[in-house]
Structure 1
Amino acid sequence: MTSAPAKPAVSPSDRFRSVQRRTLAVLSAAQIVGGVGVAVGLALSSVVVDELSGSTVISGFAGTATVLGAALLALPTAKASGMGGRRAGLSLAYVAALTGCAISVLAISLGTWPLLLAGLVLVGGGSAGGLAARYSATDLAPKERSARHLSLVVWASTIGSVAGPNLAEPADRIGMRLGLAEKAGPFAFAALAFALALVVIVGFLRPDPLRLAREADGRRAGETGRTRTISTAWQTLRTTPMARRALVMIAVSHTAMVSVMSMTPVKLHHDGSNLDVIGLVISLHIAGMYVMSPVVGWLADRAGKVPVLILGSALLLAAAALAGTAGHRVWQVTAALVLLGLGWSCGLVAGSALVTESVPIERRPAVQGLSDLLMNVCGATGTIIAGVIVGLLGYGVLGLVVGVMVALAGLWLTLVRRRGGPAAA
């Protein structure tokens, strides 16, 4: 009697590939539903704050509160990831966003805008989770495909970002039918979206990609979680010049993008464009940010991360030049916003992949968290400074200032790369 042939053993590389495919699917699903929550909540936040406070100036703090929340939650998310893996970090971010939506619903019901702003700070956890998810896609990715895997998760944000604002009005009608205050429905719907994203992460992000990658690298889970996140990140950056360059380019790309994008609706409105035109321009800008991200990821893996960062700087410079000289030409503003989105995509995808591959795996969550913190702080600062520049000097001067900033950063990166030779590339 012959025994049945033994099943062939599964190699570690085959197991990693299988887990990585599942990880990408789970992260993409969470990005879609979480992105809906972010977009629905942001669609009406400034309008609601304006109505509750009676002040257009105060309404501007709605967007600032959300960006500030994303910045404040970046390091706790990284800390939780360092201690318990990606599932713990992403869960923390989505729980914060869910709590923020509940507080926002309560604030609207009570008619108090300070409480609503507090809730919006926690809603920023949704953005923090979305940013952290892109790094989660690289833990088990082969080095030659890290940018592509990261870009797939970034691309998944497109669906939520586009669909979310269109769901705000139906959510408001349903909310009022259920007895909620006017304009509280979208925040309740956003809470459901974040809850679903939380279920997806907790229930299906198994095995945890960061824990598995650490095991393969011989590291103990939570090994760096007991250290201080910021000090760990700064110590790593001091000895990793390539990671420093990546962080600078991510921050510059994001600052340039949000500075011009945040003031473009105001510029178009002052030029006499209606809401349909403004909405179309912003939609095309969002498409530029996300739709081409898989192509950007492929290019970063094939041509190199630093060349794509330089390409992103060139696109951002072209966008700033077009925006600054557009005058009343809507088509030129639209072209500028599309290029602005593409340049941002190059900076985010290539920069994030370069950060990941430049630092040891046990220090990645700390450096990645610091990257997201700086990115959001620079973004929030950029919107404030952009408003001052446009208010005092005009939209054209904003284009000039952003162009100079991007040109200096791109020139610096190019010169550093040439001095460093092949190793710097």
Structure 2
Amino acid sequence: MQQIPEKLVQSYSFSPERRHALYRRTLAVVIISQIFGGAGLAAGVTVGALLAQQMLGTAGLAGIPAALFTLGSAGAAFLVGRISQRRGRRAGLASGFIAGGIGAAGVVLAAVTDSVVLLFIALLVYGAGTATNLQARYAGTDLAPPRRRATAVSLAMVSTTLGAVAGPNLVTPMGAFATALGIPALTGPFLLASVAYAFAGLVLYFWLRPDPLLLATAISAQDRAETAPATDSQSTPEPPGNNRGVAVGTTVMVLTQIAMVAIMTMTPVHMQSHGHGLTEVGVVIGIHIGFMYLPSLITGVLVDRLGRVPMAVAAGVTLLAAGIVAATAPAQSMGQLMIALALLGLGWNFGLISGTALIVDATPLETRAKIQGSIDVLIALAGATGGALSGVVVAGTSYAVLSLAGGVLSLLLIPVVVWSQRTTPHN
């Protein structure tokens, strides 16, 4: 792991006020980067399936883009986690966002040249931005007090709302801009994504100093050396129960990701097939993404005060409600679809923040970024599975069946968290 000068470590180690000020500054930098990152994320969510349907000529494969960029995000999550562990959050997150920007530019080029092969490759690289956008939430927790970790996650996530909500609502003007350039209208949001991801990476690269993960790790090591030098070698292993915390947190995030991605991916296709235009699609997806991130401030406080497990259960119940509302929505009902996608985003928000807090609680600083990256690989693969199967399920059955299946699947996280509560006292 890259080292921070000892004098700098001591200046923060012996000054809680200075450390708190750096914590607040770190959150501010992450917030700024997440605003740009949210705009980049929204492009693939909003028009990725529509672009694939247009280029491939079939709705049955419209879930492929979501599968590809979430699969790409799996590889990126692994790499970003490893880079962050060795060289800090700054290096890992900046690299991931810039790679995502390159991928978005590749999608535009693929559409212009009508190259399906290039489209698939570019979507894989574009997934790096999605993974990085998600992993940035951890950067806010490195210097956070244990009782404010979920709140720190929420502050990092809520800033994504500005870009993520603006992105889908810029579909029409960005489409007009792309048309004016003589390229397909659906590439417009990816033009925006390319620039937005690049800016997010540059903000982190230049301003996230000193690196929060490297500094927190160095301070922790120094504190152990000073308070218990004789037993320092025994202080590194994870505390009892940490493996269970990792397992439960991972399960919560994986199940919520599958349910959310599957329903979200096919909603634009479902809407267009029933006569809704791009502007209406943008509004519904914008509301969905808004509810994915905007409630974070409240969710973080609830997770810290009520507990990780109750909010994980709330995630399963909310996602079930989203599936039921989406499945029963009349084809022409914008209102009910907006409610369904709002609940879908809210349930995902509950699951992600409670699951993230469980993971942070259960991982030591010395291996935290690496473990977090590996877990985000599973989350990305879960999203890829949900995205790939969503088109097949809808083509073979209906959007209603997909929605109900996603809602019911999310309920599986409830017995998992109940199991964790029952078995904890025996460890």
Task: Give 1:109 shift.
Answer: 4.2
Q: Is the contact between residue 69 and residue 127 of structure 2 (CA under 8 Å) also seen in structure 1?
A: yes
**2:67–2:383: 8 Å Cα contact kept in structure 1?**
no
CA contact 1:34–1:193 (8 Å) conserved in 2: yes
Change (3 A) 1:257 1:41: closer
The 3-state SS of whatever aligns with 1:154 is helix
Q: Please, which moves more after superposition, 361-370 or 108-117? A: 108-117
Match of 1:342 among 339, 342, 346: 346
2:88 corresponds in structure 1 to 85
Summarize the alignment of residues 105-144 of structure 1 with structure 2, pairs less than 5 Å apart.
105-144=108-147
Alignment of 1:344-383 (within 5 A): 344-383=348-387
Aligned residues of 2:59 and 2:269 also touching (Cα < 8 A): no
Q: Larger deviation: 270-279 or 243-252?
A: 270-279
* Paired residue type of 2:217: R
- Could you tell me how far 1:306 is from its partner in structure 2? 1.3
DSSP-derived class of the 1:100 partner: helix
Distance 1:314 1:387 in 2: 24
In the TM superposition, what whole-angstrom CA distance separates every residue of 1:167-199 from its partner, at most 9, and x where no partner exists? 45544555676x674555654443322222122
TM normalised by structure 1 equals: 0.84
Equivalent AA in structure 1 for residue 353 of structure 2: V
Which has the higher mean CA deviation after the structures are superposed, 396-405 or 338-347? 396-405
How far apart are the structure 1 equivalents of 2:129 and 2:145? 28
Aligned to 2:41: 38
Structure 1, 243-252 or 88-97: larger mean CA deviation: 88-97
Matches within 5 A, 1:238-249: 240-249=243-252
Bigger shift: 331-340 or 200-209? 331-340
Distance 1:193 1:403 in 2: 32
Residue 384 of structure 1 and its aligned partner are, at CA, apart by 2.6
The amino acid of 2:286's aligned partner reads S
The corresponding residue for 1:385 is: 389
Question: Residue 263 in 1 paired to residue 266 in 2?
Answer: yes
Question: Residue type matched to 1:417 in 2?
Answer: Q
Q: 1:238 to 1:306 in 2, by over 3 A?
A: closer
Q: In structure 2, do the counterparts of structure 1 residues 363 and 340 end up closer, same or farther at CA, with 3 Å as the change threshold?
A: same
The alignment covers a number of residue pairs equal to 400
1:40–1:167 CA contact under 8 A, matched in 2? no
Distance 1:38 1:272, change over 3 A: closer
Percent identity between the two aligned chains: 36
Aligned-pair CA distance for 1:214 = 0.4
Question: 2:131 touches 2:380 (CA, 8 Å); kept in 1?
Answer: no
How far apart, in 1, do the equivalents of 2:389 and 2:301 lie? 34
SS of equivalent to 2:143: coil
Q: 1:191 aligned to 2:194?
A: yes
Asked if the contact 1:90–1:133 (Cα under 8 Å) also holds between the matched residues in 2, the reply is yes
> Which residue number in structure 1 is paired with residue 210 of structure 2?
207
Q: CA deviation at 1:311?
A: 1.4
Amino acid at match of 2:373: G
Which structure's relative contact order is higher, taking Cα pairs within 8 Å and 6+ residues apart?
2
Assess, with a 3 A threshold, how the Cα gap between structure 1 residues 236 and 97 changes in structure 2: closer, same or farther: farther
Equivalent residues in 2 for 1:140-179, closer than 5 Å: 140-171=143-174
Match of 1:228 in 2: none
Q: Deviations over 1:53-109 (max 9, x none)?
A: 555555543332222211121100001001100011102202211322343344344
Q: How far apart are 1:166 and its partner, in Å?
A: 3.5
C-alpha distance in structure 1 between counterparts of 2:24 and 2:159, whole Å: 15
Does residue 406 of structure 1 match 2:422?
A: no
Secondary structure of 2:221's partner?
coil
Match of 1:6 in 2: none
Indicate conservation of the 8 Å contact 1:81/1:89, yes or no.
yes
More deviation, 85-94/387-396:
387-396
- Note the C-alpha offset of 1:257: 1.2
In the aligned structure 1, how far is the partner of 2:49 from the partner of 2:405?
27
| 3-state DSSP of counterpart to 2:164 | helix
Distance 1:332 1:169 in 2: 23
- Per-residue CA deviation, residues 191-244 of structure 1 (Å, 9 max, x unaligned), is 322222122111100010000100111179xxxxxxxxxxxxxx9999611111
Residue type matched to 1:295 in 2?
Answer: I
Match of 2:422 among 409, 418, 422: 418
Give 1:329 shift. 8.0
Contact 1:308 1:350 in 2 (8 A): yes
Gaps of 5+ in 2: 1-10, 224-237
Is the Cα contact below 8 Å between 1:323 and 1:333 reproduced in 2? Answer: yes
1:269 Cα shift? Answer: 4.6
Residue 315 (structure 2) aligns with: 312
User: Does the Cα contact within 8 Å between 1:35 and 1:126 map onto a contact in 2?
Assistant: no
Rounded to whole Å, the distance in 1 between the matches of 2:192 and 2:264 is: 26
How large is the RMSD of aligned CA atoms in angstroms? Answer: 3.0
Deviation at 1:393, TM superposition (A): 3.1
